[in-house]
Structure 1
Amino acid sequence: MAALREPGNIEGVGLGLRSAHSAELLAGVGDVPWLEVLADNYAHGDGLPLRNLESIRERYPVVFHGVGMSLGSAEPLDKSYLDAVLDLARRIEPAWLSEHLAWTSSGGRHHHELLPLPFLDETVQVLAEHVQQVQDRLGGRMLVENSATYMAFHDSQMSELEFLGRVLETADCLLLLDVNNVYVNARNHGFDAREFLRGLPADRVAQMHLAGHDDHGDYLIDAHGSPVAEPVWALFAEAVRLFPEVPVCVEWDRDVPSLEVLVGEMNRASGVVTEVTEVALAGQEGLSHAP
């Protein structure tokens, strides 16, 4: 297929496309600049949903996001799944494709969960090989997303931060930074979320995600069924400071509210971006006028 466009054609804060909002979005409600499409919802189908997606694509720039590629499986990639996603990409022409650093299938069975990976040299190699296979067929670099996890492996040889950096470098891919997942993992595994952000390779960060989580006291669940939590907004401001001009997508997958609610979250995220950018510019002007 023709090479995907590199990040840069998608700007500002967009939304994850949900079918309940398609009619309003086609009518231009909410002034949404771009949409993230869950490719799994359309890759194996046809008919009205796909025609609606084609209509959406005529009006909005889109990117693809996936949950079923199982990049971390020790087994070969599912060729039929990959073929379906790439066929859809040829038809819709997204700006780029992203997928989670996780495994979701084994022995030909799909588990419908983003399952955690041990942070091992061997895992880095498996992920890199799979990512490179996808990129060879895409004709461009894909984005991989840091996943939320609820357990850790005793055999892990490195931190999540080092693991993520190794994967990005070895596979020569880009990062979809899920800010909520950083916060969730920091709480669940006891590390400093801001230090994690500061340790990321800035030149690899190509998109961000914002979403809500469920707080169970001793642990957090990346549930995508509520507004973005206040501590995550604060962490997002730090991410914007570190990675300016990176496009952001607001996700909401469970108990999906009205488009008005999602646009409210989108507008708040845009406000954070504007505020952080203005502060940074003011600081630069102050330095330029210093004696």
Structure 2
Amino acid sequence: MVGLGLRREMLDPLIESYPKQVDFLEVAPENWLILGGALGKKFKQLTEQHNFVCHGLSLSIGSPEPLDINFIKELKVFFKQHNIKAYSEHLSYCSGKGHMYDLMPIPFSEESARYVAERIRTVQDILEMPIAMENVSYYAAPAQQISELDFTNLVLEEADCELLLDVNNIYVNAINHGYSATEFLKGLPSKRIRYGHIAGHYNEAEDLIVDTHGADVIDPVWQLLREAYQIHGVFPTLLERDFNIPAMSELLNEVNTISTIQAEQSKRESA
């Protein structure tokens, strides 16, 4: 299965001619929760006809502040209204005493992993559904005591939640922090992967990549997706594009690349 991140400017093209190669769409629920009028009607039209998942922006699972229970309850209503198939969030935080417009790294420690896992369990209990936590890109690791991989796996196990495997984030972090992307992939639990993300990024320097979702996917990231399928089997994968959004035909070229790589791996597995 192959997905595409839905942005508002895509609404009319998708309603007029929905591409058969797109199996599901993904939205940030915060952008659609209270949307009414013509845009709300168009969104409802799409959710009634196609498969949707949600990828949140503001759950702030690692925040030192209490969870926003009212927000989580609003999400639950929204998910039912639009028959949302899955919900994912970032393994990070974006709020303290106020809301920050960036994803901040959670300290890699056993203590913080257990703290985050407890909060994930609370969210899952309220929603009455599992959530998938995304391995995020980060540019500093404050108060790090264990590896990113050990931290991620401890959260997944303690929370008994799912994983949103972001292939581009693994590539970005591997370059920025000097570890093997392949070994990181091998260390993740196949059984917990709900779906995956792939996206483009910006090269700030040879040893500094910024995860922007604003460019085409590069060949090394496509190759890492192939490795991910070889290690974990084929899993649903979604193309993210948040900025510099090209024509739908160009987006579909990358969607088709995902489909091709999935088909190649499936053929190997059945041989």
Larger deviation, residues 28-37 vs 63-72: 28-37
Q: 2:212 aligns with which of 223, 226, 239?
A: 223
Q: Do residues 162 (structure 1) and 155 (structure 2) align?
A: no
Q: 1:101 aligns with which of 81, 91, 98?
A: 91
* Structure 2 segments unaligned to the other structure (5+ residues): none
Give 1:80 shift.
3.3
**Residue aligned with 1:273, SS:** helix
Report the TM-score when normalising by structure 1.
0.89
**Residue aligned with 1:151, SS:** coil
Give the equivalent residue in structure 2 for 1:60: 50
**Letter in structure 2 aligned against 1:226:** A
Give the equivalent residue in structure 2 for 1:205: 193
- Residues 53-93 of structure 1: CA distance to partner in whole angstroms, max 9, x if unpaired? 11011221111110110001011112333233222112112
Q: Do residues 82 (structure 1) and 64 (structure 2) align?
A: no
Report the TM-score when normalising by structure 2.
0.96
**Residue aligned with 1:226, SS:** coil
Contact 1:44-1:84 within 8 A present in 2 as well: no
Larger deviation, residues 83-92 vs 226-235: 83-92
Please list every run of at least 4 consecutive aligned residues from structure 1 whose deviation after the TM superposition is greater than 3 angstroms.
Answer: none
Q: Which protein has greater RCO, CA pairs closer than 8 Å, 6+ apart?
A: 1
Contact 1:179-1:208 within 8 A present in 2 as well: yes
Distance 1:123 1:93 in 2: 33
**Letter in structure 1 aligned against 2:160:** D
Give the equivalent residue in structure 2 for 1:289: none
Give 1:49 shift.
2.5
Distance 2:180 2:96 in 1: 33
Q: 1:91 aligns with which of 73, 81, 91?
A: 81
Distance 1:167 1:240 in 2: 23
Identity of aligned residues (%): 38
Contact 1:37-1:65 within 8 A present in 2 as well: yes
Give the equivalent residue in structure 2 for 1:110: 99
**Residue aligned with 2:84, SS:** coil
Q: 1:245 aligns with which of 234, 242, 248?
A: 234
Give the equivalent residue in structure 2 for 1:3: none
Give the equivalent residue in structure 2 for 1:235: 224
**Residue aligned with 2:85, SS:** coil
CA RMSD of aligned residues (A): 1.2
Structure 1 segment 1-291 matched on structure 2, within 5 A: 12-31=1-20, 32-107=22-97, 109-153=98-142, 155-217=143-205, 218-282=207-271
Give 1:148 shift.
0.3
Give 1:135 shift.
0.4
Distance 1:58 1:197 in 2: 35
Give the equivalent residue in structure 2 for 1:287: none
Distance verdict in 2 for CA 1:188–1:69, change over 3 Å: same
Distance 2:18 2:130 in 1: 32
Distance verdict in 2 for CA 1:50–1:126, change over 3 Å: farther
Distance 1:81 1:139 in 2: 15
Distance 1:59 1:160 in 2: 39
Give 1:130 shift.
1.4
Contact 2:73-2:127 within 8 A present in 1 as well: no
- Residues 159-207 of structure 1: CA distance to partner in whole angstroms, max 9, x if unpaired? 1111110000000000000000000000000100000000111111110
